[in-house]
Chain A
Amino acid sequence: MAAKKTATSSATAIPGSGGATPARSSTPTPATMTAKASKSSGSSPNDMVQKVIKYYINTTGPRTNLIDVFLVFLVVNGAVQFLYCIIAGNYPFNAFLAGFCATVGQFVLTASLRIQTQEANKNDFPSVSPERAFADYVVCSLILHFFCVNFIN
C-alpha cells in the first residue's frame, strides 16, 4: 500500500470502486484504461509500481483512503514490534504476543471492513451492508482487544 502520500490528491476519483478481489464484472473505466496501457508499455518493476499507484489513485475513495492509512500504520506498527522482538529479545513473551496479535488482528479486521465496504464487492456480500460491516467490525475489535488485554499480563 504505497498510497500514504497520495491520499489527499485522489478526492476527485470515483468513490468506492476497486478493491482487493477479482470482481471483474464491475470493473470501472479507469481500470480498463490502465489495462490497455499495461499491454503496450514495458514491464520493468518500476513501471508496475507506478501503474499500481495510478490505479489506486484513480479508483479509491476518500473513506477508503482513511482505512488504508490505518492499515499502513498497522503494518508499520507490526513491523516495528517484530524488529524489536528480534533485536531486543522477546522477554515478556506474553506482552509481545498480545501486542503483535492485536496489530495483526486489527489489520485483518480492518482489511475485511475495507473489502466489505467496496462497491465492487457487493455481489460477494449480499447480506452485509456497509453499516452492518462497520457494526461487525466494532464488535470484533472489542473481542480482539478484550482478549489482548487479558493476555498481556
Chain B
Amino acid sequence: MDLFAEGAKGQNARTLFRAVILCFIAAAAISSRLFSVILDPWFNFRATKYLVANGFYQFWDWFDDRTWHPLGRVTGGTLYPGLMVTSGIIYHALRAVSIPVDIRNICVLLAPAFSGLTAFASYILTNEMVTSPSAGLLAAIFMGIAPGYISRSVAGSYDNEAIAIFLLVITYAMWIKALKQGSMLYGALCALFYGYMVASWGGYAFITNLISLHAFVLLAMGRFSSRLYVSYTTWYALGTLASMQIPFVGFLPVKTSEHMPALGVFGLLQLVGFIEYLNFAVPGRRWFFYGCLFGSVLLGFFGLVALTASGVIAPWSGRFYSLWDTGYAKIHIPIIASVSEHQPTAWPAFFFDLNMLIWLFPAGVYFCYKQLKDEHVFVVVYALTASYFAGVMVRLMLTLTPIICVSAAIAVSKMLDTYLDMDSPDPDDYPMEEAPESSKKKKPFEEKEEKPVGIFGLISKGIVVGGMTVYLLLFVLHCTWVTSNAYSSPSVVLASRMPDGSQHIIDDYREAYQWLRQNTREDAKIMAWWDYGYQIGGMADRPTLVDNNTWNNTHIATVGKAMSSREEVSYPIMRQHEVDYVLIVFGGLLGYSGDDINKFLWMVRIAEGIWPDEVKERDFFTPRGEYRVDAGATDTMKNSLMYKMSYYNYNSLFPPGQAQDRVRGVKLPEQGPTLNTVEEAFTSENWIIRIYKVKDLDNVGRDHASAVAFEKGHKKKKQTSKRGPRSLRVE
C-alpha cells in the first residue's frame, strides 16, 4: 500500500492514491458482508415500515398494541430512533431523485454501507494518532474486515449496532481533532455525532464516560490546557443538549449517575480554568488555589452523594453493577444475565474475532505510550477500559474492535515503515549515548521525543517484511472464512451438512411462522419465550406477550411462571392473558441445542425472582444437583408445562422404549407426558417449533383433567389409530 504512494511523485498523486485505496477498502468492507442476505432483526424493520408509512410524528407517538399483550408498548418513546430515521431519510432521498427503491432493500444494505463509512472514520481517527498515513489505511482495512465488527454488520443485520459503531468511531475522531486543535467547530461536530449516537444506541454512555475519563486523566496528569477546556466544554454543553432531544433519554443526562462523571469533569474544568487564570494574576499562591480546588471537588462529591441518597439523582443502575461484578446480574437481575450476549467472553472468542490483531494490539498501545501526547493518552485509556468491558460481556467486544484496529494498525505501520526504508542509516549519525542527563531530567508524564530507528541488513528487512505480509494475508483468509461460516447464517434458518457433504437447510422457524400467519386469527395471542417475540411479531404478524425488548421484567416472569408451573397453575395465567397459542422451541429430535429446555432454567430463575414462594430453581434439580430430563427428572420438572409440551407425543416417533433426546443425549421414559389444558396444534417438520392451542373452558364445567380422562375412556382405540407412529419426513 505504502509502496505505491512512495513510488508516485508529488503530494497530489499520493492523495489520489490514498483516496482510491480508501474507496477500495470501503468496497471490500461492503462486499465481504454480502455472503448471505436475509433480513434478521424484525422489530427494527417493522418500526421502519411504520415510520415510512405513517410519517415522523406518528412514529414518535406510536403505541404498539400488538406486543406485550395486554400492556402494549409506547414504542415511539422507548426506542432509539436513529436507525429507523436514517433509513427513512435515505428512502425519501432516493425517492426524491426518482430512484424507486423498496424500504426492505435499504434496511438490508444499511449495515454494509455504514461499515464502509466506519472504515473511513477509523482512517481519520488513526491519522490523528500518527504522522505516517499508511497507519490510517491499515486501520481502515482492519476495521473493514475484522470479524468482531462484521458479526454485527452483515447484510440484513438491521440492528442499532450497524450504524452505532460508525458513530462511535467518528465521534472519537472528532473529539481527538477538537482536542488537538482546540477548535470549537470540531467540538460541535463531535457533539452532533454524539447526539446522533445517542439517538441510535444505548451504548452511548460508553462515549460519555470515556471522553470525560480522558479529560480527567489529562487533568490528573497536570496537562490542563485551554485546548482541553475549549473542546471539552463545547462538546459537553452541545452534546448534552443534543442527547436530551431523544424522548427515551430525556432528562437522564441530568438525573442519573451514569452521566454524572461527565458533568463533574465539566465543573472541574471550569474551576481549573478559573484557577489557572487567578494563578496567572497572583503568582506564588498556587498551593492555596489548589487547596481551594480540592475542597470544592470534595464539596461537589459529597453534594452528589447527598443528592443520590435523597433520590434526586438516580443511583447507578443494575446494568452498571453487573459490569463490575459478573455474578451480580445472575442474583439480582436474571433477565440481564440470561441474554447470551451478556455472558463473559471466552478466551478463544478474542482470537476468533480478531485473529492477529489481538497480539498486535499491545504493541500499538505501547507505541502510543511511548509518545504519550494528549491523543495517545486517549488510546491508552480507551484500550484499558474497552479490554476490561470486552472481557466481561461478549457483546462489548464490539466497542473494543475499533481501538484494536487502530492500535494494531499503528504497530504494523511502524514496523513496515522501519523495515521498508530502503536506504540503511549511517551508524555515525546516531551516537549510542545520546545525552543521558537530559532524558533523566524529564518528568514521567512529559511528552517524549522519538529517537530515529534504522535497520541495516537487507536480509533482516526481507524476513520481517515477508513475515508480516504472510500474516496479513493469513488474516484476510481468516476473516473471509469466519465471515462466510460463522456470521452469515441468520438465526431463523439453520444450515447443516448431510452425510454426503451437501448443504441442508432447516427451515422450521419460517414454516411455523407461516403456519401461524395462515391458520390463526389475526389477533390470536401467542405466548412464547421472549427470544422469539420480535420474530413472531415480524414474520407471523401476531400479537405476543413478551418480546426481545425486555422492558418489563414482571411480564417476562409471568411467562416464565406459566412455562415452569404445573398445568393447573399455568392455565389460569394463560386465560388471564388471553393466550390462544403457546409456541415453544424443541431441539431434541434434531440435536438443536438452542432450544427452550436448555433455556428453561432462566425462565425458572426469572420467575423465581418475582414469585420466590411458588417457583423454586432447586426443585428442578435432582437431589444430586443434576438437571435431568429423562426418567430421573424431578416431579416438578416432569409436571412443568414446558417439559410436557416439549416431549408430548415424542414417544410416537420411536419404537417403544427407545425415545431419545439428541440434545441432552438421554433416553426418555417410556410413558410420555399427558397434556390436559392445551392441545397440539402444529409441529414443524423437524419438530423444532411446536405450537399448542390453549383449550377453552369445558362445556359442561368439568376441569380439564377429568374431561380428558373421560374422553380417553371412550375413545382409546380411536386415539391410537388416529395418531400412529409418526415418521420423520426426509427430503
- A interface, CB within 8 angstroms of B: 18-22, 27, 31, 34-35, 38-39, 43, 48, 51-52, 55-56, 93, 97, 101, 104-105, 108-109, 111-113, 115-116, 121, 124-125, 127-128, 133, 135-137, 139-140, 143-144, 147-148, 150-151
> Could you pull out 15 A-B pairs where Cβ atoms are within 8 angstroms?
A34-B282, A48-B285, A115-B226, A124-B182, A124-B226, A125-B226, A127-B181, A128-B181, A136-B183, A140-B187, A140-B238, A143-B188, A144-B237, A150-B245, A151-B244
Query: Mostly helix, strand, loop or mixed at chain B's interface?
Result: helix
Do A39 and B284 touch across chains, with their CB atoms under 8 A apart? yes
Distance, CA A100 to CA B244, complexed state (A): 13
Chain B residues with Cβ below 8 Å from A51 are 281-282
Do A147 and B184 touch across chains, with their CB atoms under 8 A apart? no
Chain B residues with Cβ below 8 Å from A104 are 237
For residue B279, which residue of chain A has the nearest CB? A22
Let me know if B273 is at the binding interface, CB within 8 A.
yes
Do B241 and A148 touch across chains, with their CB atoms under 8 A apart? yes
Distance, CA A147 to CA B239, complexed state (A): 10
- B interface, CB within 8 angstroms of A: 181-185, 187-188, 191-192, 224-227, 229-230, 233-234, 236-238, 240-242, 244-245, 251, 254, 270, 273-274, 276-285
Do B237 and A121 touch across chains, with their CB atoms under 8 A apart? no
Do A143 and B244 touch across chains, with their CB atoms under 8 A apart? no
Chain B residues with Cβ below 8 Å from A48 are 282, 285
Distance, CA A2 to CA B224, complexed state (A): 24
Chain A residues with Cβ below 8 Å from B225 are 21, 124
Do B234 and A147 touch across chains, with their CB atoms under 8 A apart? no
Do A139 and B185 touch across chains, with their CB atoms under 8 A apart? yes
Distance, CA A31 to CA B283, complexed state (A): 9
Do A125 and B279 touch across chains, with their CB atoms under 8 A apart? no
Do B274 and A128 touch across chains, with their CB atoms under 8 A apart? no
- Nearest-neighbour CB distance to chain B for A32, whole angstroms, equals 9
Chain B residues with Cβ below 8 Å from A22 are 224, 276, 279-280
Q: Count CB-based A-B contacts (< 8 Å).
A: 131
Do B233 and A112 touch across chains, with their CB atoms under 8 A apart? yes
Q: With A20-B273, A21-B225 given, is the CB distance from A147 to B283 under 8 Å?
A: no
Distance, CA A69 to CA B721, complexed state (A): 96
- Nearest-neighbour CB distance to chain B for A12, whole angstroms, equals 19
- Nearest-neighbour CB distance to chain B for A68, whole angstroms, equals 11
Chain A residues with Cβ below 8 Å from B284 are 35, 38-39
Chain B residues with Cβ below 8 Å from A101 are 237, 240-241
Distance, CA A61 to CA B254, complexed state (A): 37
Chain B residues with Cβ below 8 Å from A19 are 226, 277, 280
The answer, among A18, A105, A109, A112, for a CB contact under 8 Å with B280, is A18
Distance, CA A127 to CA B183, complexed state (A): 8
Do A97 and B251 touch across chains, with their CB atoms under 8 A apart? yes
Do A116 and B182 touch across chains, with their CB atoms under 8 A apart? yes
Chain A residues with Cβ below 8 Å from B274 are 20
Distance, CA A107 to CA B224, complexed state (A): 19
Do A140 and B251 touch across chains, with their CB atoms under 8 A apart? no
Chain A residues with Cβ below 8 Å from B237 are 101, 104-105, 108-109, 144
